[in-house]
Structures are given as structure tokens and as C-alpha cells.
Amino acid sequence: MWRLISYRVLQAAPVVLIVSILAFFLINLLPGDPAVVIAGDQATPEAIAAVRHNLGLDRPLIEQLGIWFWHLLQGNFGASLMLNQSVLSAMVERLPVTLSLTMLSLLITLPIGVLAGAVAAYYRRTWIDSAIMSLALLGVSAPAFWIAILSIIVFSVGLRWFPTGGYAPFLSDPLLWLRSLVLPAAMLSLFQIGFLARMTRSSMLDVLSQDYVRTARAKGLGEWRTVGKHAFRNALILIVTAIGILLSTAIGGSVVIEQVFALPGVGRLVVQGILARDYPLVQGVMLIYGFAFVLINLAVDLIYTLADPRVRYD
């Protein structure tokens, strides 16, 4: 067991290294002279030289990479050009918004997605299955930002149930916090619910056709206990792995949803950064998210290993 855990942790170490190198090359990937791109087309040669010097682009590439790693070791993820602020502090300021949004969305997604998938699997090949799976298919096919804009028109502008945008921190006004997040979180959940329902259904079907479920039925165990205890519990293992993917798509989706609802989160920061050519900011945010997901994926893998004794790595 410990060997297994240490093996997985050791495997994550090179991934962290590669994530940092990939993020580093994001700026050096800029076609032409990155300093010109960042300073803008109308910049004077002096301004371009200043940008080049500030970002250390006038040094040899390998030296830049060395400095990049040295900074990372000190917890320095670079500084934003447009905000005059370190990337880390800019991100920490906005993280509560994004985390509130994604956590609320997961809170909506998990019960609905799992239940819908399980019910569809149990009533497979009936109209209940078809109805649930058609809705799930629609969820993974309709663009979330488009449905989100339509939902603003209907629920915020038309029915006035929700504010059209804006955000208040939980501690200053919990009611407004919830009111401003419910619609965005619901919209963010549409794809996730569809995805999770489809995944749960197929893994439940897998389990329901297993020998031990047949045995449980054959020995006279009630239907509720057979499905609830044997089948559902086994299907849950697969859902543990789904969490990693769901979190990743939720963070990705939050970039678009925050833009639609004007929520001042990390996603909105990234988009502003890109439009303002603030590449160090974009680079830093990607790096921090990259690191976070290396850890999340590692945690998911370990939980999965502990939860399912059949999983072993060679």
C-alpha cells in the first residue's frame, strides 16, 4: 500500500516540472518578438526594450528558465503587467468568487447527475430512460454561455428573479451572494449534469450485469438492497474518478460563465489579461491552476486506489 502511494507521488513530481516548463514556454511561444507583442504595435523602441528587460527576455533562454524555476521555488508566480500586482495576490483576491461558483455548481451537479444516471440505468429501455438520457444529451450539446445569456433574458430581465450580474462576498451579504450565484452555478451545471448522468448510467449498467448482482438477486435479496447496496456502491467508485474531470470542466467553464454574468472571478481576470496582452498574468494563473490539478488528480487517484482494492499499478 505505502509503496503504491509513494509510487504515485513520485510519478506526480515530473508532471509538476513539465507543467512549469509548459507554462514558461507560453510566453516564449509568442511568434516574433514577445516584447513587441506585449508592448503593443505602437510602442517606441525604448518601451519595447524596457519590456524586454523587465521580463528578462534579453537573457539567454536557458538562463530565463533557470530564473523562472528559482522564482517558482520561492513561491513567486510572476507579476501582472496591467495590475501592478503579483499574480498570486491578484488570484487570491478573486479565488473566492470562482470557488463559490464551482463548488455551488458541484453541489447541484453531483446529486442530480448521479440520481438521473442511476434511475435511467435501472429503468433502461423504457421511456424514463429515454427522457432522462435525451435531456443529458442536450446538456452536453448546448453551449453553456448561450443558454446562460438566454437565461438572463428570461429570469433576470423578464421575470426579475435574479440580479443581471454583479456579486457580493458571502460575509458581507450572504443573501445577495446566493442570489447572484444561483443562476450562474445552475448554468455551469448543465453540461456537468449531462456528463455525469451519462457516465453514471453506463457504469451502473456495467455493474448491474455483473455476476455478484445476479447472485444477490438469486439469493432473494430485496431489489432495493441489491441495487442500492451492491450496484450503487460499486458505481460510486467510478464517480470518484469523475470528480477530477468535473472539477476541471467546472473551472474551465467558469471562465466563460463569469464573463457572461460579470462575476469578478479568476476566469474573468484571465480573459481581461489576454485582451490586455498581460501574458505574465495568464501564464501565472495557468501555472497555479496546473499545479492545483496535479494535486487534485493525485488525490483522486489515491482515493480511487484506496476505495477499490482491485486497482493496482505495476
Partner 1 sequence: MTELAAGSLAGALAPRRRLVLLRRLAGHRSFQIGLILVAALALAAIFAPLLSDHDPSAMKVRFRFKPPSAAFPFGTDNFGRDIFTRVLYGARVSLWIGLAVAAMSGLLGAAFGILAAQFRRLDPFVMRVMDALMSFPAILLALGVTAALGPRMESVIIALTVAYVPGGVRLVRASGLVVRELDYVEAARISGASNARIMLRHILPNSISPLLVHVTFVFAYAILAEAALSFLGVGVPPPTASWGNIIAEGRDYATQAWWVMLFPGLGITLAALGLNLLGDGLRDVLDPRLKAQG
Reported in sequence order, the residue ranges of 87-232 that DSSP labels E, i.e. its strands, are none
Q: Is 226 in the site for partner 1 (CB under 8 A)?
A: no
Distance CA 197, CA 300 (A): 19
Which residue's CB is nearer to partner 1, number 177 or number 289?
289
279 binds partner 1 (CB under 8 A): yes
C-alpha cell at 80: 501582472
Q: Judged by CB under 8 A, does residue 270 bind partner 1?
A: yes
Rounded Cα distance between 118 and 189, Å, is 18
Q: Which of 9, 128, 153, 311 binds partner 1 (CB under 8 A)?
A: 153
Does 209 interact with partner 1 (rule: CB under 8 A)? yes
| Contact present, 263 and 257 (Cβ < 8 Å) | yes
Return the closest-CA partner of residue 177 out of 159, 162, 160.
162
Interface residues for partner 1 in 8-67 (CB under 8 A)? 11, 14-15, 18-19, 22, 26-27, 29-31
Kindly give the interhelix angle for 174-208 and 87-122, rounded to the nearest 10 degrees: 40
According to CB under 8 A, which one of 65, 88, 115, 142 is a site residue for partner 1? 142
Please name which of 168, 165, 170 lies closest in space to residue 187, comparing C-alpha atoms.
165
Residue with cell 499545479: 291
Task: State in angstroms the smallest separation of the CB of 259 from partner 1.
Answer: 6
- Minimum separation from the CB atom of position 217 to partner 1 (A): 17
User: Contact region for partner 1 (CB under 8 A) — 60-68, 177-185, 234-242, 278-286?
Assistant: 278-286
Q: Cα(first)–Cα(last) distance of the chain, in Å? A: 12
Residue closer to partner 1 (CB basis): 11 or 89: 11
d(CA 77, CA 273): 15
Q: If we measure between CA atoms, which residue out of 197, 166, 183, 165 comes closest to residue 105?
A: 183
Number of residues counted as binding partner 1 (CB under 8 A): 55
From 68-76, 87-95, 108-116, 247-255, span contacting partner 1 (CB under 8 A) = 247-255
Instruction: Write out the residues near partner 1 by the rule CB under 8 A.
Output: 11, 14-15, 18-19, 22, 26-27, 29-31, 124-125, 137-138, 140-147, 149-150, 152-153, 157, 202, 205-206, 209, 248-249, 251-253, 255-256, 259, 270-271, 274-275, 279, 282-283, 285-286, 289-291, 293-294, 297
